[in-house]
Amino acid sequence: MALTLLATNNAESTLASAISATDTSLIVSAGTGAEFPDAVAGESYFKLTLTDAATGSQVEIVNVTAKAGDIFTIERAQEGTLARAWAANDMVANMMTADTLNIIAQYAQQAAASAAQAEEYANNASDYAQNKFTFYKTASDPDGTIAGLAATTDGQSFWVAQGPDALSAAWQYQNKAGVAVLQAKQPGTAAITGTIREFPTLAAAQADADAGNIPVGSTAYYRSSDDSAPAVEVINNAGTLQPTGRKMPSQNYINSMIITDDGSPIMTVNDDVGFRLAALGRDLLQNRAIHAEYDDTLEGFIFRDSVGFIIQQIGVPLLSDVDDTQPIVEQEQLVTKALHAEATDDVTGVLFRDSVGFILLSVDGEQQSISDSDSADIAKRNSDNIAAADAMRAEINYSFQRPVFDINIIVTYGQSYSNGTQGVPCLTREIKDSLNLKMLGMSVRPLNVHSGSTFNPVGSAALNNLVAVNQSDDDGHIMTDAEVIAASPWSNNYGESVDIASLQMWRTMQFQQNVISSDSRQYVALNCGVGGQIIENLEKGASTGFYNRIISAVTQVKGIADAAGKTCGVVGLLYLGNEYNYDSTKGGTTDRVAYRNKLRGLIDDFISDTIAITGQESVPLTLLYQTGGSYTRDVTKMSIGEAQLDICAADQNVMMASPNYMVTGKGGHPDANGLSLAGLSVLERFCTEFRIGLSNGSHCSPGTLQ
């Protein structure tokens, strides 16, 4: 329903206090609210024009949708004006606007249309009075039109009755220059009794039969509550409707009889209480002896026990190099949990390996078995493995950005694990000034922790010494110890976060490694995470706008660096999130490939956007933690964690820092100690990749914790 536009003469006042460009309410000078119309939410509104008192040239038009005394609820930036910040004592008035005039014009047009419609109804009524003639068929006038034409003038209409047994009770003709032109037919009794009737109930059908509309021997249908047959046929047997035995089947019942390829069984055998005993489908065979199903992803068969656990899988490997679906049956190898046999070019027979790949037995072409367990061979294999590990340790990745700037930025993003939800009370309350660790404002997180598309610092937009603080989930303010103690330990207030502990220890180990006590370079932690979000809400372009907090925060730090004449760059992204993508009820994808593409896109957007801001040449290092713990869903084949591994396996600049299941926590979230421990895992990866604090650095494959 459209709201009613209100207006009052000479209603004007001034602002009692300043408002920002995003505020949705204002307060006028005390007592002046009574001069304005009484707008009621959902029913009426009035126009309000704001004008700056200083120059009188700045204007914004708003809709006032509710009034409570001197407090107005407003809709900003109406009729092409821009939302602005207004100061106390700026002028407000209920003035005539272009939109007001348009609405008045619209009301006038509607009134004119109503008048025209009323005139049309009057003309129709007059015409009906003039054309009420009805005539009958006679021997001398077999179709009744002779009398009708004689009694009417050009343009008038008349009716001709067709008789009691005709399908039409009467035909309407129009006199067009003395010629009867058929216009319409009115159905008669035969049109009703001569058709198959449908009724909501059997009683309604019987009532129509009693009225003579369903003759003896005729049939009708009434609706049934049975889902398989929505209509039942009955016949009038000597005045009483009785079932014929025929029913109209429903589409659902027909569909249930059609073999489909939707994955559901074609046929099932159930016991007396409905439990399935056996099933047969396109991709399924199940009974007490066997449960086999075809899996499209595996491109093979899965065999399960009586309670559904997988006993064996037979198929080809999945597309990703990081998958290890077992068992595998191929032309030259057979891999199961118990056996790994393969044919190779180096051996004329078959090699048998254990679960980690060591050779247990080789069978040559002469069927001779040779044990591979003598001490000399074991020593040789051990030496080879140590050499391989040393070679991996010596690998150095030179492609990502090193912390060579005056100001080096590390961004943390993701879900609640990333921003320290329930990490109260915080632990890292003091960090040495000499480490030169900073944050934007008075917290690594913005004031608007769980909302908004901009990074609004707590306090001023300045670089302050990095420490952990406790922040309220209600409004983002820094909590006192008394507030933390008074709050429930299960509240979603924010405290310790992984970025703080990892940066503190990383910087400390840098100093130890280089035997220094100070360094002019600054490291800035920016935490843009938002709890309870699927990746669809965190990616660039999402309607939430959360991704833009990263751009906002990095841009502010770059501005501070430019003002001080310092260089600035982004060296790392810590991404911890998307437990909610394991839960299909949250609205996000649970598919491995779809999630992998979205996370890859988010990382690529982060790289391109931050490089565009800072002008750096190399890409930041991305560190992930593997989403897991109680959120992992085997029904999706651990799709989110596997997709994260896929990206790490394909990109040397994306690394796994840690799983998340081994730290202390409150069930869904780590506690302050758990977040600090997780931070140490991030620290270890920092040290590994940046060659800080470890002898020659070290290398570990995706998903392993050193």
Residue 293 token pair: 């199903």
Domain range enclosing 612: 407-690
DSSP-assigned beta bridge partners for residue 329: 334
Q: Are strands 568-576 and 407-414 parallel, antiparallel or unpaired?
A: parallel
- Note whether residue 126 is domain-resident: no
- Stated pTM of the model: 0.49
Name which residue leads in pLDDT, 74 or 111. 74
If you average pLDDT over residues 610-624, what whole number do you get?
95
3-class SS letters over 653-690: CEEEEEECCCCCECCCCECHHHHHHHHHHHHHHHHHHH
Share of the chain above pLDDT 90, in %: 42
pLDDT of residue 20 exceeding 90, the answer is yes
Residue 591 vs residue 681, higher pLDDT: 591
Residue 424 has pLDDT above 60, yes or no: yes
Structure tokens at 491: 């509240």
pLDDT computed for residue 563 by the predictor: 98
pLDDT band with cut points at 50, 70 and 90 for residue 84: very high
pLDDT digits (tens, 9 = 90+) for 150-197: 889 998 988 888 887 676 778 889 999 999 999 888 777 655 655 656
The amino acid occupying position 120 is E
- Among 43, 66, 44, 689, smallest CA distance to 393 is for 689
Considering the domain architecture, whether residues 504 and 603 belong to the same structural domain is answered as yes
585 and 483 within one domain: yes
| pLDDT value, residue 207 | 86
DSSP state at residue 620: P
For all residues of the chain together, what is the average pLDDT? 82
- For residue 517, tell me if it sits in a domain: yes
The answer to whether residue 696 is domain-embedded is: no
Based on the domain organization, do 217 and 240 belong to the same domain?
A: yes
Q: Are 228 and 304 in the same domain? A: no
In this predicted structure, the answer to whether residue 278 has a pLDDT above a threshold of 80 is no
Domain tally, the chain: 4
Q: How confident is the model at residue 213 (pLDDT cuts 50, 70, 90)?
A: confident
Q: What confidence category does residue 590 fall into, taking pLDDT thresholds of 50, 70 and 90?
A: very high
Determine the pLDDT at residue 109.
Answer: 83
- CA-CA-CA-CA dihedral for 67, 70, 71, 72, to nearest 10: 50
Q: What's the token pair of residue 621? A: 């290092």
Residues 68 and 21 in one domain: yes
Could you tell me if 390 and 415 lie in one domain? no
Q: Using an 8 Å Cβ cutoff, are 159 and 171 in contact?
A: yes
* Contact in structure between 39 and 65 (CB atoms under 8 Å): yes
Please state, in angstroms and rounded to a whole number, the distance separating the CA atoms of residues 107 and 2: 12
Do 422 and 523 reside in the same domain of the chain?
Answer: yes
Final residue of a structural domain among 96, 117, 144: 96
Query: Does 625 lie in the same domain as 478?
Result: yes
Which has the minimum average pLDDT: 237-246, 399-408, 668-677? 668-677
What's residue 318's pLDDT?
39
Residue 366 domain flag: yes
**Mean pLDDT value across residues 48-63:** 92
C-alpha–C-alpha distance, residues 157 and 567, integer Å:
92
> What is the per-residue pLDDT for 322?
38
Give the pLDDT band (50/70/90) at residue 694. Answer: very low
Q: What is the pLDDT of residue 435?
A: 95
pLDDT tens digit string along 245-262?
887 777 776 766 665 555
Highest mean pLDDT among 70-79, 391-400, 498-507, 661-670: 70-79
pLDDT at 703: 35
Q: Which two tokens stand for residue 494?
A: 């924010």
Q: CA 680 to CA 504: how far, in whole Å? A: 10
Instruction: Tell me the average pLDDT across 97-101.
Output: 85
Taken in order 411, 417, 422, 426, the sign of the CA dihedral is negative
For residue 429, pLDDT beyond 50 = yes
Would residue 592 count as lying in a domain?
Answer: yes
Reported confidence tier of residue 693, pLDDT bands at 50, 70, 90 = very low
Residue 540 within a domain: yes
| Residue 15: strand pairing partners | 28
Arithmetic mean of pLDDT, 598-623:
97
With b meaning 16 or more CB within 10 Å and e meaning fewer, what string describes 241-260? Answer: beeeeebeebeeeeeeeeee
Q: What is the pLDDT of residue 300?
A: 72
How far is the C-alpha of 148 from the C-alpha of 133, rounded, in Å? 8
Judged against a pLDDT cut of 50, whether residue 108 lies above it is answered with yes
Let me know if residue 521 belongs to a domain. yes
End-to-end CA distance of the chain: 64
pLDDT exceeds 90 at position 487: yes
How many Cα atoms sit within 13 Å of 553 on the Cβ side?
Answer: 35
Which range among 121-135, 323-337, 368-382, 478-492 has the greatest average pLDDT?
A: 478-492
Q: Are residues 430 and 577 in the same domain?
A: yes
Cα 526–chain centre separation: 25
**Residue 347 sits in the same domain as residue 489:** no
The CATH number of the domain holding residue 638 is 3.40.50.1110
Query: Which of 34, 63, 96 delimits the end of a domain?
Result: 96
Contact 283, 263 (CB under 8 A): yes
CA-CA distance, 156 to 175, in Å (whole number)? 6
Same-domain status, 620 and 679: yes
Asked if residue 134 has pLDDT above 90, the reply is no
C-alpha to C-alpha distance for 676 and 665, rounded to whole angstroms: 11
Q: Is residue 417 part of a domain?
A: yes
More confident residue, 590 or 223: 590
Asked whether residue 81 falls in the same domain as residue 212, the answer is no
Main-chain dihedrals φ then ψ at residue 643, nearest 5 degrees? -65, -35
> Comparing 94-103, 492-501, 577-586, which segment has the lowest mean pLDDT?
94-103
CA–CA separation, 221 and 229 (whole Å): 11
For residue 196, report the phi and psi dihedrals to the nearest 5 degrees. -80, 120
Per-residue pLDDT at 291: 72
